[in-house]
A and B are shown apart, each in its own frame.
Chain A
């Protein structure tokens, strides 16, 4: 580990720069602002899943002492629509209620107590419509339409990727397997629920501090929805207390801005409680997934068919894009000559689903990697051998017809796993017999594309300044939602400029101070911004060295070196403090900026412009292989993960501590997804209202995790890295599913694997078919 006062270096392990302030409770999150004695804003939510709004009775609420105003859709001057691709979500309901969490009226009050009292006094007159809660039922032409203006009824988006001759290929197969898988909604369950505050300044600017992953996109959405000038909206994005995709899109932003413009000069705060976050926050899409796969007599993977159904809930949110990423990843990192994959994103009156770490891939990979085990077994091959035989290499055509480019470490990951001591230990683990327990081991391959795809520009602008104090300040326009990318920015710039952490400063995203960088999402955060920052830091370094060289009248700036806090003339040993040097430069000379746009695929596996817009195909992928050892209790059906190993290919590692945190965190979240977590919704109504019934894993449910890396160089990445934020999430569910199947000799197709389901699967008297 590196001492905090040694110059920052790429590749060294050091504690993230934000750690101390967070541990001491000094870091201010969006929820932490109380300074200006804020007003409190809150919303009345519909409470029913589907209906037509007839009237909103606000009179009684207005009489509550301390209530400042009650606002409805009539108070909105803009489009009153939000959304990233399809703008279909109202800030406040104006005609239809489409899920229980839909906001109908906004109350602003002097105190939280007055706010709650007023909210209880608002009466809604809603004509109830039949709720659509089943995915297949929603697609039935006779089902009520949730968005009357959408031409495809309740089908938000669909897409097909086809390669080869699938039907014929299946006939050529000697081994065929098929199954339907059911994956649950997952709650992000961040520590910091949705929160922020806003104030209308004297000059007419709305300043909005929010827990968000997307400040620049929020600014455009808020301005459009409320009819404000883009440049009169300023969004400030502190560190998030967790986000995982749940803050990729509007939560409190438009509501807060609306409240602020009706209460000039007063700060207005909104902070959802846990129950509200469950009802109104986005979830990981529930999915139903069908797979069919076939291998030839010699055991070669020959044909694959899949149908993916995602429940996007009441609004698009990012449901179309999530579906497209699932579609693109449905063939996994394998060479498969014949494939047909169809995907459907479906509107229902269920809670809104959206981005969640993995973005549609954990669902498909959860199913695919179990189908691979089933096919390997049918063809008489071991799971690892079968995957090694079919895993892609650079230059291959992948399962959806796209050339595999960039660093491709899936084979190397499999080799590393098989040669590891942990893998041998897992076999020994399995061999040991314990009364009333059955043990099993399972693996799963993972791959995860980076960035926005071929059409939407994946761009970041970096800015760095030499301040008159001699410090270098990085203006980071991309949010740090907890993953540590801000610390990595300082490391990248510090490495290039040869500075230590105390000589680095940071400005977090602020639409007025930092340059547009896109979202903190899609495993692109450090990749895209990091590349821009390298260019900016190199430009500034060159300018400093040239300036010093000219000042000292030396023939060549190569004689000058940056050292912590100073420049040094190497032949003479002479030094000048950076603080002194900075005073000789004018403000614009002390700043460098640069732009980077991520590379895009030049291939056209699909002509459908909608699918290209939604991101297909990607060019750079991270890879990995996960292995889990589980123990099943034969008396109770409880499953415990006892051993876990993940080998990842995320390119070169900039900070070993941070990547370990990413992979371990994803495994823990994945264990929850596999075994415990399930948002339960009945006919559109939330049944798991809080953490007493929504069961997150705790420390005792998560085993010691071993992480290993194959550090291949990704030529296009900053210092050779690729994204590491999501790839770890795609592995645990299928690895654990395969391990449980290995332990009990039966496969379960409904997730999570609750003790009840596992116990039933072990019972020879229970029917456990392969169908849903």
Chain B
């Protein structure tokens, strides 16, 4: 059995964390409790962060939107400014887990778990989100891609917690796209995922694009050279096929029980083709498209 603390304020949390530095924090617990089960009856002291008001909610601060690290997904999905400004993130969240998991789980948990398959990570990479990290005595900010080091590894010191995620508004990329390839239609871990934001010219060519892949390397892959290469190119089969070939040098996938590395490589390249549909559709409506 574990001892669980349920502080209602940050002050309360610091008080416990100062006293029991080895305590483990959690929000929804949808990752942590699965992990504890594997640790042969861990007796770790647990501190639940989900009731702390300072860590919850969504604030539109004009230039950016701040999302509390412990805000459950369901709440994020119903927020109008997230829907309006970051459809790629809403799409990814809609494909994460199931309604039950989305009622419990949080983006803070997804980021700190630092799984290459985490569904919110590719969108956060291309949105160039900044994380707000707090300890009892300090607050620091760090870009998401610098925070995540590898599977299960994040740049979080003892006594620190992730308090919020800041995302700049007004990115000049009206077309958003998220695709998750999993083993079933819901409740599936991504075998490959792709988040894209792009801007097209009147003629339908790519003016600018950002892309990030999940589940194909120890961390999310954002292939910057390909983004550069694609700027100005036509959005057609050939361009995307060449991008898919170039992409291979950026991927370091593994073979596991869910899929082979070979399959992950192939599908990463293949699903770029789906952007062509998105290109056509974007002439009318500016966002939200899934396979």
In the complex, chain B residues 163-202 whose Cβ is within 8 Å of any chain A Cβ:
181, 183-189, 191-192
B271 within 8 A of A: yes
In the complex, chain A residues 720-772 whose Cβ is within 8 Å of any chain B Cβ:
754-756, 759
B267 touches A759 (CB 8 A): yes
Residue of B181, B184, B185 touching A636 (CB-CB under 8 A)? B181
A700 touches B181 (CB 8 A): no
A700 touches B184 (CB 8 A): yes
In the complex, chain A residues 64-116 whose Cβ is within 8 Å of any chain B Cβ:
113, 116
A435 within 8 A of B: yes
User: B187: which A residues are within 8 A, CB to CB?
Assistant: 698
Q: A435-B277, A436-B274 are in contact. Are A635 and B267 (CB under 8 A)?
A: yes
Bound together, the chains give a CA A692 to CA B183 distance in angstroms of 10
Residue of B40, B189, B266 touching A759 (CB-CB under 8 A)? B266
Query: Which secondary structure dominates chain A's binding surface?
Result: loop
B249 within 8 A of A: no
Q: A633-B291, A687-B257 are in contact. Are A697 and B263 (CB under 8 A)?
A: no
A143 within 8 A of B: no
How many chain B residues sit at the interface, stated as a range, is: 20 to 34
Bound together, the chains give a CA A636 to CA B259 distance in angstroms of 12
Residue of A435, A687, A699, A756 touching B260 (CB-CB under 8 A)? A756
Q: A113-B41, A693-B258, A759-B263 are in contact. Are A698 and B273 (CB under 8 A)?
A: no
Bound together, the chains give a CA A220 to CA B133 distance in angstroms of 65
Q: Closest residue to B280 on the A side, CB-wise?
A: A435
Q: Closest residue to A680 on the B side, CB-wise?
A: B257
B270 within 8 A of A: yes
B263 touches A755 (CB 8 A): yes
User: B186: which A residues are within 8 A, CB to CB?
Assistant: 698-700
Query: Which secondary structure dominates chain B's binding surface?
Result: loop
A636 touches B270 (CB 8 A): yes
User: A636: which B residues are within 8 A, CB to CB?
Assistant: 181, 192, 267, 270-271
Q: A113-B41, A635-B274 are in contact. Are A688 and B184 (CB under 8 A)?
A: no
In the complex, chain B residues 264-291 whose Cβ is within 8 Å of any chain A Cβ:
266-267, 270-271, 273-274, 276-277, 291
Residue of B184, B259, B277, B291 touching A701 (CB-CB under 8 A)? B184
User: A695: which B residues are within 8 A, CB to CB?
Assistant: 183-184, 188
A640 within 8 A of B: yes
How many chain A residues sit at the interface, stated as a range, is: 20 to 34
User: B276: which A residues are within 8 A, CB to CB?
Assistant: 435
B267 touches A693 (CB 8 A): no
Bound together, the chains give a CA A701 to CA B187 distance in angstroms of 11
User: A637: which B residues are within 8 A, CB to CB?
Assistant: 267
In the complex, chain A residues 620-649 whose Cβ is within 8 Å of any chain B Cβ:
633, 635-638, 640
B257 touches A640 (CB 8 A): no
A676 within 8 A of B: yes
User: B259: which A residues are within 8 A, CB to CB?
Assistant: 755-756
Bound together, the chains give a CA A640 to CA B188 distance in angstroms of 15
User: A697: which B residues are within 8 A, CB to CB?
Assistant: 184
User: A693: which B residues are within 8 A, CB to CB?
Assistant: 257-258
Residue of B183, B185, B271 touching A635 (CB-CB under 8 A)? B271
In order of increasing CB-CB distance, the 10 nearest A-B pairs are A700-B185, A635-B270, A756-B263, A695-B183, A700-B186, A636-B181, A693-B257, A701-B185, A698-B186, A701-B184
16 examples of A-B residue contacts, CB within 8 angstroms: A436-B277, A436-B291, A635-B270, A635-B271, A636-B181, A636-B270, A638-B181, A687-B257, A696-B184, A698-B98, A700-B185, A754-B183, A755-B191, A755-B259, A755-B263, A759-B263
Chain B residues in the interface with A (C-beta under 8 A) = 34, 40-41, 98, 181, 183-189, 191-192, 257-260, 263, 266-267, 270-271, 273-274, 276-277, 291
Chain A residues in the interface with B (C-beta under 8 A) = 113, 116, 120, 435-436, 633, 635-638, 640, 676, 680, 687-688, 692-693, 695-701, 754-756, 759
